[in-house]
Structure 1
C-alpha cells in the first residue's frame, strides 16, 4: 500500500486551471458597475389580492401554457429560444415599463403599489403630530416608567406611487430635459429603493400619494412635505435629495424675469468636509447646463444677503441708519452667489454669527434644508450648531428632509418636535404630517457583503492578522473569499492611526509601489493634505488607507473591496456606517473584517446581532450563517452605562492611543500594553530612558539658572533616572 495515498486521502488536489477559473469568477466591488443597483429583489405575489383586468385574463391563461418554438440554429443570440423563467422575467419587465408610463389619470391602484413596495421592502409611514406622543406612566412599586401603547391612528402607513425607471422623472414628474440628459449620461437607469420611494414624494406629492392624499393632511397641496428617510449605506441617498432640490430651483427660475440672478434657496448640511465636497461634485454633475449654481462653503466666507436683510429693516433712530451705512461700506467677502450651498454646520453657523451672542443672521430665501447623516448632525456633538442653522431659516415654506442609514427613535422624536414647534412659532396652522421612509430593516447593515469576526487575543495579534491581509495570497477559512486591495482600515483614535501607518509603511514590497501604496487620513491633517490623499485613493494610487471615523459616513468609494475594523467601533451605528464603505450601489463581493481582542469581548454582542440580521436579510440559511445562536447567547450583554461610555470614549484601554488611558493615565493591564509597535520591551525601555535623561538634563539646567538669579539653595533630588518599561 502506498503511504502517500493514505496521507493525502483527505486532501483535495486542485488543478491550476480550475483555481484560476474560480479566482476569475469571484465578484469584487472593484470589478465594475452593477447591472442592478437595487438591494432587494423579492418576488411580486401575483395571486394575493391583485386586481385583474378582463382584457388581460386571456393573456394570463395563454401565458400559463408553455408554447413550443421552432429552433433556429442560424438565429442571433437575442432570438434564441428562451426558458420559461426568462420569458416570465421579460414579461414582468414589460409590465413594469408599461406601468412606469403611467400618467396622473392612469394611477396604479393601492394594491399594486402595496405589492411593489413590499417586494422592494419599502415602508412609508405618516408620523403622528407632536401633541399625540405617548405618555409615560410611573409605577409605584417597581419605580419604573412604562409607555402606553400608541394607537393605530397615530402612525398611518401609506402606499405612494413608486418610481420604476429614471425616464419617468421626465415624462411623469416633469423634470427638465437637461437634467434628464445629465442623468442618462451618468448611466442612471434603474432607481434604487430609496430613490424609488422618495423621488415621487418630493417631486409631486399630490400625484405620488394618490388616494392617500387625504390621509396625508395637506401633503399634496403643492408646498412639498418633510421627509425622514432611513436607507442602507450606498443606496443612492445623495441623488435622492439633489434631484428635487435642483428641480425646485429650476421651476422657480422659469417664472422669474432675471434668470441669471442666483438666490440661495437650498442648504445641504453634512458632518464632514469630505462628504460635503463629494456632494458638491455630484450636484455639479447633475446641474450641468441647467444654470443652477452649487457652491461648497469654505472657511472665512460670508453669505451675501444675510446682512442685507437686517440692514433693510426699518429703524427709527439716526444711529441705526449710520450703522447701516457703515455695514454697507464694509467689503463683504461672500460666497459666489449660489443657488445651493453645501456646508458643514460649524462653517455656516460661524458665517451667520452676529455681534449679539446667541443670535444669528437669518436666511429668509432658503426653502429647502437637507440634513445628510441626520443622526450625527442632531447628536450632542453637532446638535446646537444644526438647530441654530435650522432656526436661521425663517421662510414659512421651508421643507426639511433628513437622511441617514441609522436613525434612533430619540433623533426621530427630536426632528419631529422641531418641525412642529417651528410651525407653531411661525403661526402655520395647516401643514402636512411628516413622512418617514424606511428601506429594508431599520438600522441594519447592507445584505450584499460578507462579515467576518476574527479573534486576535492581543494587540500584537491584531497587527499580525492585518499583515496577513496585506498579502495577496491571504484567504479566508472557506478558501474562496479573500480581502484584496484597495481597502480601508479604521482605528479608534488619531494616534493609533498614525502609529499603525508607521508600522505598515514598508510592508508592501517595492515592486508593488512600496510605501506610496499606503497612507493615513485624519482630522489633524490640513485640508489640502486630506484632499490630496482622497484624490490619490480614488485614482488607485493608494491601496490601503488607514483612517478614523472621519471617513465612516457618506463618503462614496465605489471600488472598495473591503473594510478592516482594526479597532472595534464605538457603537452599532458606527459599525453599520464603517462596513457600508464597501458594497456600494448593489455591488457584490465586499468583505468586512473586524479584529477584536480580549478587551473587546464585552462589546461584541451588538455587532454580532447586526451581522446576524444582515445575513438573515440576505436569505442565508441558519446552517450557513456565521453568527450561530450559541455564539450570540455566549457573548455578554453590555449595560447601558457601558454602551454610553463606549460611544463617548471608545474602549478604555485604547482611549489615549499609545498605551495611555483617560486623562493620560496608563491603561489597565500594564504599561504600554495597547501600543501599536513591534519593538521589543528592552528597546522601548532604552528609548524611554534616553528621552527621560534628556528631559532631566534640561530640567537641571533650568533649575541651576533659576538658582543663580534668585540665589537660593539648590533643590534636592533633581536627578531623573529615566522611565522604566
Structure 2
C-alpha cells in the first residue's frame, strides 16, 4: 500500500464556504442532481444501508488486515535493499484467502436476500405499490380435490360462503418483490450481460430511481412473492415524468436479446423486440439512448423509417413475376415513374433486433400489398408501449392493437409505461391478452402486474407551479413578455430563465405566438434565431434541425404544441409555460414534466388562464395542490382553499369535449371559414396580439391602399397593351 495513502487514511478534506454567504438556488440546467430519487425517505436509506452491512463489514475487515500488514512491514529507517522474493511473498495472497474471497463472492446473493418485512418496508418508503391484476382464483389456487375435501365442500355449501371485502382483495393482490438498491446488483444478482453492465456504468448510473428500483427485478426474472415463480410478467407501469422509465425497459429488453443470441442454435434473424412511441421525437430519443446501451453487445436498434421493410411476404414471389411480365408492356415514362416504388419493394428486410417506431409507420409496413390482413411478426418476444395511455386512446388504439395482434410468439411479454394511466387501460390490456391467447391457442396465463410509483396521475413534486389569471389574451401576452426578462418579476413573483418551452393549443396559435415574439430578444443576444416554433406540419428534417439546435442551446425559447408534451427529455429546461390551458389533467402532468427531470430541483411551471378558461381550471388546480402537499410547502401554497371551492366542476361530457377539441374559444374550426368582416369579431378574443383595434384598422387600410395601387398600375399597363394591339396602323400596301 502507498505510504501517503496509509498516513492520510483518516484525513477528510472539506471545502469551507465563505461566512455569511448562502448557496444560490439550483437550476435544472446546472448539472446532475445529487439525489435523483423523488420519494426517497430516511427510513428507506437505513434499510438499504443495512442490506449490505455484512458485506461492508467483511470488506472493512479485509482492508484493516491489509493495512495492518502494510503498517507492520513499513519501516522508514530500514535499508532500501530488500529481496524481491520477500516482496512477492508478502504481496501474494495465500490459497486459503483466495478460496475465502471466492466463497464470499459466490454467497453474496444469499446475503442480499431480504425477508418480506424488509421488502415491504423499502417499497413502502419509496411509495412503490405492486399489484397482481390476475383473478383471485389464479393468485390463490385451491387445493386438489379429494374425498375429504368433497365432504367439507358439502358442509360449506350448507353454510354461508365468506366473501372477501375490497380491502382483503387488495391485500391478496399486493406483491413485495425484492427491490434493486444498486446497479451493481444487475451483474452480481441478475447476471446481465457484462458489456451491458459496463455500458450502464459508463452512463454514470449508480443509484436507481423508484421506477427502476421496482421494475428491473420483475423484468429481469426476480421471484414474484405471490406466485412463487421466476416468470417474467406482463407489466403496467405508472411513474412520474423524468423518473427513468426508458432505462427501465431498455435494460431488460437488451439483456433478453443478448441471452437469445447466445443460447439460440438456429439461424433466427429478425425483429425480436418492438418499442412503440406516439411521436417521432420520442422514438428518436429512445433510439439514441438505446445505442449507448447496446454498444459492444451485438444488439442492433433501429428507428423505423418510411419505406422500410420489416417482414418477408408470402406472396412476394408472385408479385415479382407479375412485375416482370408487365414491364414489357410499359413505356419508358411509366418505368421512370415506378422506379421509387420498385426500389421500396426490393429493399432488404431490416435485420435489426429492436425496432423503435410510431404506430402508423409500422402498420403501413405490415399492411403493404395487403388490404384485409396485416403481416405477422413471429419472432417478437417483447412489445413495449411507451406513453401507453395515448397509444390506447381512440386516436391510436386500432393501430396499436393491430401491432399487438401481429406479434404471435407464445412467449411474448408486453409492458405499458406512462406517467398517467386510467383504469380503462387495465381493462383493455386484460381483454387484449385474453383475445390474443385465444387466437394463437395458448392455454397458459402469464402474470399481469401493475406497478405505481407515488400518487397515480400526479405531477412531480420537485418543481414549482404557478397558476396566473391573465383575464384576456392580451394579458397573457403581456405576462409572457415579462417572463422573457430574467431580472423582471411579475405580480406573482415568477422568475424564469431560458431555455424554456411554451405550449399552445393549436398549430395556428403556435405560429402566431412565434411571429409575435420573434423580435422580442435583442440582436445582441441573438435576435430571432433564439426563438423557434415546432409542430407536426413541419417536415422531418426541419423538426430534427430545431430539436438539435434546442438541445445544443442555440435556441432558447421553443413554441410548440402537445407534440413535445410527452416523453421527450430536455435535461436543461428551466421551466414550462402553458400559454393555453391543457386539454386535460393528464396533458398538464406531461407538459410540466419536461422540467425537473431526474429529480432536479428549480424548475417552474407557469399556467395562464383567461375568463374563458375558468370552467376548465379546477382539475389543474387540484394537481398543483397535491404536488405542493407532496413537496411539503405548507406555508407557500399557490393554490388556496377558497380558489378550489369557488372553481366550478366539469361534467364528463364537457371533459370529453375538452379533450377532443380543447377550449371552444380557441378551436380552429371556429376561426376558419368566415368572411373578413365576421373574422374580426369572431377572433377578437383569441387573437395573439397586443395591438389595439385602431392600430390594426390603420395597418389594414395601409395594406389595402398599397394593394389597390398595385392593381391600378397592373390594370393600366394591361389596358395600354390592349389599346396597342387594337390601334389603327395605317393603310396596307
How many Å separate the matches in 2 of 1:510 and 1:264? 50
Distance 1:41-1:502 versus aligned 2 partners, 3 A rule: same
Q: Deviations 1:248-299 (Å, cap 9, x if unpaired)? A: 000010023588x742100000000000000000000010111100110011
- State the superposition RMSD in angstroms: 3.7
Distance 1:100-1:326 versus aligned 2 partners, 3 A rule: farther
SS in 2 for 1:600: helix
CA contact (8 A) 2:51 2:112 kept: no
How many residues align structurally?
A: 604
SS in 2 for 1:228: strand
The residue number in structure 1 matching 2:277 is 270
* Structure 1 position 296 matched with structure 2 position 303: yes
* Structure 1 position 651 matched with structure 2 position 666: no
Displacement of 1:35 in angstroms is 1.5
Q: TM-score, normalised by structure 2?
A: 0.76
The residue number in structure 1 matching 2:125 is 119
CA contact (8 A) 2:671 2:682 kept: no
Q: TM-score, normalised by structure 1?
A: 0.77
Superposed counterparts of 1:312-711, under 5 Å: 322=318, 331-334=345-348, 336-475=350-489, 482-621=495-634, 623-656=635-668, 660=671, 670-686=682-698, 688=700
SS in 2 for 1:244: helix
Distance 1:461-1:587 versus aligned 2 partners, 3 A rule: same
Q: Deviations 1:346-369 (Å, cap 9, x if unpaired)? A: 000000104442311111111110
CA contact (8 A) 2:183 2:207 kept: yes
How many Å separate the matches in 2 of 1:307 and 1:182? 37
How many Å separate the matches in 1 of 2:481 and 2:580? 15
CA contact (8 A) 1:100 1:168 kept: no
Q: Deviations 1:462-504 (Å, cap 9, x if unpaired)? A: 000000000010236686x621110000000111111111111
The residue number in structure 2 matching 1:718 is none
Structure 1 stretches lacking a partner, 5+ long: 1-17, 57-97, 133-147, 312-320, 703-725
Distance 1:54-1:391 versus aligned 2 partners, 3 A rule: closer
How many Å separate the matches in 2 of 1:101 and 1:634? 62
* Structure 1 position 213 matched with structure 2 position 227: yes
Superposed counterparts of 1:77-92, under 5 Å: none
Displacement of 1:630 in angstroms is 1.4
SS in 2 for 1:247: helix
The residue number in structure 1 matching 2:181 is 164
How many Å separate the matches in 2 of 1:364 and 1:107? 37
32-41 or 373-382, which deviates more? 32-41
Distance 1:578-1:54 versus aligned 2 partners, 3 A rule: closer
If you compute each CA radius of gyration, which structure gives the higher value, 1 or 2?
2
The residue number in structure 1 matching 2:85 is none
How many Å separate the matches in 2 of 1:123 and 1:534? 36
Displacement of 1:52 in angstroms is 12
Distance 1:518-1:423 versus aligned 2 partners, 3 A rule: same
How many Å separate the matches in 1 of 2:188 and 2:33? 26
Q: Deviations 1:99-126 (Å, cap 9, x if unpaired)? A: 9995267520011000000110000000
The counterpart of 1:196, out of the listed 199, 202, 213, is: 213
How many Å separate the matches in 1 of 2:190 and 2:215? 12
The residue number in structure 2 matching 1:84 is none
Structure 2 stretches lacking a partner, 5+ long: 1-17, 56-103, 139-163, 326-341, 716-733
Q: Deviations 1:540-581 (Å, cap 9, x if unpaired)? A: 111111000000000000100000000000000000000000
SS in 2 for 1:35: coil
The residue number in structure 2 matching 1:137 is none
The residue number in structure 2 matching 1:136 is none
SS in 2 for 1:242: helix
Distance 1:336-1:614 versus aligned 2 partners, 3 A rule: same
CA contact (8 A) 2:308 2:350 kept: no
Q: Deviations 1:591-645 (Å, cap 9, x if unpaired)? A: 0000111111111000000001111112222x43222211111111111122111
- Higher helix share goes to which structure? 2
The counterpart of 1:280, out of the listed 277, 281, 287, is: 287
